[in-house]
Structure 1
Amino acid sequence: MSTPAPPPGKPRTGLARWTPAFWRRSIQARVVVSTILLSAAVVSVVGWFLLQQTRDGLLQHRVDAVVAEADNETSQAEERLGAATGRDSNAGAQQRELIDPIIQSGDTRGFSVVLSGPSGATRIADGGAKYTDGLDTSSVPASLEDHFAEPADTAWTYTEIRREGADGGMVSGPGIVVGSQITLPADGQRYTLYYLFPLDEEEETLALVTRALLTAAVLLLLLVGGITWLVTRQVVTPIAMARRVAERLAAGQLQERLRVRGEDDLARLATSFNQMATSLQRQIRQLEELSRVQRRFVSDVSHELRTPLTTVRMAGDVLHDARDQFDPTTARAAELLQTELDRFETLLVDLLEISRFDAGAAILEADDVNLVDVAHRVADMTRALAERRGTEVEVRAPAHPCLAEADVRRVERIVRNLVTNAIDHAETGRVVVVVAGDEHAAAVAVRDYGVGLNPGESALVFNRFWRGDPSRARTSGGTGLGLSISLEDTHLHGGWLQAWGRPGEGAQFRLTLPRRIGGVIRQSPLPLVPADAGEPVA
């Protein structure tokens, strides 16, 4: 009875799940099983060939023996008939005198005999044939009878010998029947003697050889499997040790090394592996130290600049407030100073945030966030900037809430950076913000119809301080770190932040967040390629 398969979507457990995983992961198991299967195929072919040769040899030897014995019996019968010539003219009595000694000889030597004839006139099935007691005369094939319908030399064929068993029932077994013609002096007609020799001994011998070959094949396969397991273990064990050490190195245990034994290829591989690990450890430590110094420098500079920036900010505010009393040139200088101070302060804040990400100190303050509300708030906050640029921000969101477990401050900063960036690059006066969600994820897409992105720039756009057109002014006062910080915020949530663009047709940025922190995103509720782009959606 077969075991029913588990319901769709229900994970397999126990042996059903362990066996495929073990087969995929174990080189040793695959090598041993493959070797055993190939060896089994070879042993099967060789065993079949040996059995055929043994069978043919046994049968050929038996055929030669029985044909010779039949010829000898026929010769002796002819001698007896020759000695009886002239003394008896009764054909029936002469047939009995012919067949009885052969039957007695057959009982001693283990064969049966049938006397049929006259040839061409009667067949065994017509009756009148004389044969060994208990023998079923249908054991003589009709094809051999047809052969002897005309004068012919001795002939033989295989047959199935049927005779009465000890319990009164009929038993059968393979055999050889040899036919030979003889002339009866009493009536001068030809009669056919059929000698039926069983092949029981040959059948037993062949069965014994088959059992011996099967036993030898099983033992040979076990031996081959054991030898293969031992040989592969000598190779796989060092590889498994190297895998475990590599996993520890990948986990940060840089002091792990392989044990070197001997001077063979595996030992030299272990030596090279250890040298590589030492070199990587040294370079990683150098990079960690450099990164630590760099993060410390950025943090220290950012903090140290805040004090003089505060002083300059105070002086700038005084000048900006009194700009109406200055001449036009000085008043314009005061306005420019105020603008650059705002940008400089924003840059310091962004640098401090980047340094937190680099140091791994950024944390989430997660709560249920309605992305629809976030989109509307961002649209309201950026409306003044959009009006100055002659741009309209349109929000397309469902009437019901679109919730995700997230840090509302960081999500709002991501969306604000995307919308501000879209306004900065929009050229047709419209930026569209779309919100959607499904069972596993929630998404916000920001679409603009500006200069777009060249091929390959969708990945570069999140690099720090990267700009597609260095000559283009930052009308929104951006620092060049907004998209980089947005990407870090997204990764902190376990989400996706992706970009699409085409030169002259605008760009679209898509933020996808899991419904719950730690959830896995398999598909975004919104396409990355907008429907009006004329490309297949993704």
Structure 2
Amino acid sequence: MWRAGTVRGAATAAGLHRTWRRSLQVRVVTITLVASSLLVGGFAYLVVHNITDIVLDNARRDVMGRLSDGQEYAAKQLSNHTTPSEQGLKATFESTVNYLAGGDPAQLGGVVVALRAGKFPDVSSATSPQVDVDEILSPELREMVKGGKVADQIRTGDLFNTGQSTKYLIYGSPVPTRFGQVELYYFVPLTRWDQIAAGSRSTVLATGFALVVLLGLLAGLVTRLVVNPVRVAARTAQRLSAGLLDQRMVVNGEDDLAMLAASFNQMATNLQRQIVRLEEMSRLQRRFTSDVSHELRTPLTTVRMAADLIYAERDGFDPAVTRTAELLHAELDRFEDLLTDLLEISRFDAGFAMLDAEPTDLVPVVRRVTDRLESLARRCGTPLRLVVPDAPVIAEVDPRRVERILRNLVGNAVEHGVGKPVEVVLGADETAVAVTVRDHGVGLKPGEEKLVFNRFWRADPSRARQTGGTGLGLSISLEDARLHGGWLEAWGAPGAGAQFRLTLPTRAGDRLTSSPLRLVPADAPDVVTVRWSVDRLAIGPGGREAEPLAEAEPSAGPDAREQGPEALTEPADRAAPPHQPAGPRTPIETGRSEVTR
């Protein structure tokens, strides 16, 4: 029961917090109510306090007038007595208090008058009506009056035994006589004055509450007048961002909100015009690329046939012609690869690329890629080291596209490995599979991690065009990873080499949250002196693309961003990846040979 109540309380608090964060109207009305409540409450307190003081002052003035008259009258009546033991003194006391009390000793709840001779214990005191005033008459007040001072106090008591306590304003004054000083006390009930103060207090509180409610309603109305157009603008902006470029706001009136709506509509019109123009230019560009690529196929096929014939007979030519035939054959291969890549890019741009996902064991796919690039690795003098699990690694992927991604990554690492080993590692966990390709070449300069996936970008523009590919391989790989809903990421540091990581969901359509392998290698420097970033693309079931991750700070450790977008940094001294690949690994190393890049 206690846990259920706690859960309900937490859910209610979370709901209130969510409403507070999401609703501007709720925040404005709440702040207005709180501020106005504090202001009106403070004002009401001051008003009630002043009213109470005024009522009490009126009561004091009334009692002081009575006390002054009563003192004169009592002194006059007692002036005939010279000693406290005279006969008739008691009768004089009683007649005096009865007169001062109004002559009606049977009245209840009225003014009580008492004469006491505190300095003469043998003299009896007199009270009108006959009640016991000692229960509410404090010793402090008695002592002050005995000392010849006029004093007052407010006390509460039940003088008439009615069962209800009454608040009394008590005034005491010394009365000089020929035989000595006696004390005159007035007990004035404050019931009527309390009723006046209570009525005033209720009126002020009711007025204040009504004012706070009115201010809250006014704040809600004014906020609604302002928030509604903003909400309409937000919904219209969402529709515009969703591709509904014909959405516009309704313009009512000529005030500031109407000006905002008109400006928003003008902005939407300009954006629509620019987007339509850019879409048309993009469509023409894609069509031009596709048409040119297709049109070049026919003459390229003819030239290829002639070049293959010349290349086959090159041994019978002069050395210069033989070299020319070899160059022609090599450049035609590069030209054919370029056309193939351009056609593939045009299919991605047109949105015609389709994913043929099927359960695939990635171990033979990775082995097949390294086997095919082994000859290139030997020519470049770069050993290839493959680390794969002994157990199958099954994932729902398009094997043709995955193989193309790995071929581009491994081939790029071999070409930039400067003769140092290149490691290819395959790992998997319950939700994802990953492949890392690590080289120990010159690495990447600050900011180049974001540029390696751009089309036709080259790390060294001055590098001879005889080496390297078409400049579209990593761009196509990025699009293939995007099509799978996966991540393709890059890390690099000058002199420390580079590492690329491909992460794919085990089941097609799942959204990635982490990777089985680390992006920053374990042998990277403890403090990375360059800033690095990743182009991490994640497409969820709804087809929405995730935001690319922002750059890490220069002090980020080598383990940063291993667990998806929510993990930014990790300890730099961590030696093992967060998830080990399934099963033991088998290292494979190829030979090397001396070839100039």
TM-score, reference length from structure 2: 0.81
Q: Which residue of 2 aligns with 1:484?
A: 475
Task: Report 1:32-181 matches (<5 A).
Answer: 32-82=29-79, 88-89=86-87, 91-102=89-100, 104=103, 108=107, 110-119=110-119, 130-131=126-127, 132-135=129-132, 137-152=134-149, 154-166=150-162, 169=163, 171-181=164-174
SS at match of 2:79: helix
Residue 197 to residue 459, structure 1, CA distance change in 2 (3 Å): same
SS at match of 1:68: helix
Q: Which residue of 1 aligns with 2:570?
A: none
SS at match of 2:359: strand
Name whichever structure is richer in helix by fraction: 1
Q: 2: distance between equivalents of 1:62 and 1:397? A: 99
Q: 2: distance between equivalents of 1:476 and 1:513? A: 30
Residue 183 to residue 89, structure 1, CA distance change in 2 (3 Å): farther
Task: Report 1:289-368 matches (<5 A).
Answer: 289-368=280-359
Instruction: Give how far 1:18 is off.
Output: 5.3
Over residues 452-495 of structure 1, what are the superposed CA-to-partner deviations in whole Å (9 max), with x where a residue is unaligned? 11111110111100001023246765110011111111222222
Q: Which residue of 2 aligns with 1:508?
A: 499
SS at match of 1:138: coil
218-227 or 519-528, which deviates more: 519-528
- Percent identity between matched residues is 46
Q: Which has the higher contact order (CA 8 A, sep 6+)?
A: 2
The answer on whether the counterparts of 2:169 and 2:189 sit within 8 Å (CA) in structure 1 is yes
The answer on whether the counterparts of 2:422 and 2:439 sit within 8 Å (CA) in structure 1 is yes
Instruction: Give how far 1:7 is off.
Output: 9.5
TM-score, reference length from structure 1: 0.89
Q: 2: distance between equivalents of 1:134 and 1:477? A: 117
Q: 1: distance between equivalents of 2:279 and 2:428? A: 40
SS at match of 1:157: strand
The answer on whether the counterparts of 2:380 and 2:419 sit within 8 Å (CA) in structure 1 is no
Instruction: Give how far 1:400 is off.
Output: 4.0
1:6 aligns with 2:2: no
Q: Any gaps of 5 or more consecutive residues in structure 2?
A: 528-556, 561-597
Residue 384 to residue 173, structure 1, CA distance change in 2 (3 Å): farther
Instruction: Give how far 1:35 is off.
Output: 1.6
The answer on whether the counterparts of 1:114 and 1:130 sit within 8 Å (CA) in structure 2 is yes
Q: Which amino acid aligns with 1:6?
A: V
Over residues 180-217 of structure 1, what are the superposed CA-to-partner deviations in whole Å (9 max), with x where a residue is unaligned? 112455xx232222222222222222222222222212
Q: Which residue of 2 aligns with 1:287?
A: 278
Instruction: Give how far 1:362 is off.
Output: 1.2
The answer on whether the counterparts of 1:70 and 1:178 sit within 8 Å (CA) in structure 2 is yes
Q: Which residue of 2 aligns with 1:29?
A: 26
1:202 to 184, 188, 193: 193
Instruction: Give how far 1:98 is off.
Output: 4.1
311-320 or 105-114, which deviates more: 105-114
SS at match of 2:381: coil
Question: How many matched pairs?
Answer: 524
Q: Which amino acid aligns with 1:272?
A: S
The answer on whether the counterparts of 1:366 and 1:406 sit within 8 Å (CA) in structure 2 is yes
Instruction: Give how far 1:431 is off.
Output: 0.8
Q: Any gaps of 5 or more consecutive residues in structure 1?
A: none
Q: 1: distance between equivalents of 2:300 and 2:502? A: 34
Q: 2: distance between equivalents of 1:175 and 1:308? A: 119
SS at match of 1:34: helix
SS at match of 2:517: coil
Instruction: Give how far 1:239 is off.
Output: 2.0
396-405 or 355-364, which deviates more: 396-405
Instruction: Give how far 1:357 is off.
Output: 0.9
Over residues 151-205 of structure 1, what are the superposed CA-to-partner deviations in whole Å (9 max), with x where a residue is unaligned? 22x2112222333533xx4x323332111112455xx232222222222222222
The answer on whether the counterparts of 2:90 and 2:124 sit within 8 Å (CA) in structure 1 is no
The answer on whether the counterparts of 2:117 and 2:123 sit within 8 Å (CA) in structure 1 is no
Q: 2: distance between equivalents of 1:427 and 1:421? A: 11
Q: Which residue of 2 aligns with 1:396?
A: 387
Q: Which amino acid aligns with 2:52?
A: R
SS at match of 1:4: helix
1:469 aligns with 2:466: no
Q: Which amino acid aligns with 1:110?
A: G
Q: Which residue of 2 aligns with 1:242?
A: 233
CA RMSD, aligned part only? 2.9
SS at match of 2:515: coil
Instruction: Give how far 1:93 is off.
Output: 4.5
Q: 1: distance between equivalents of 2:387 and 2:310? A: 43
SS at match of 1:69: helix
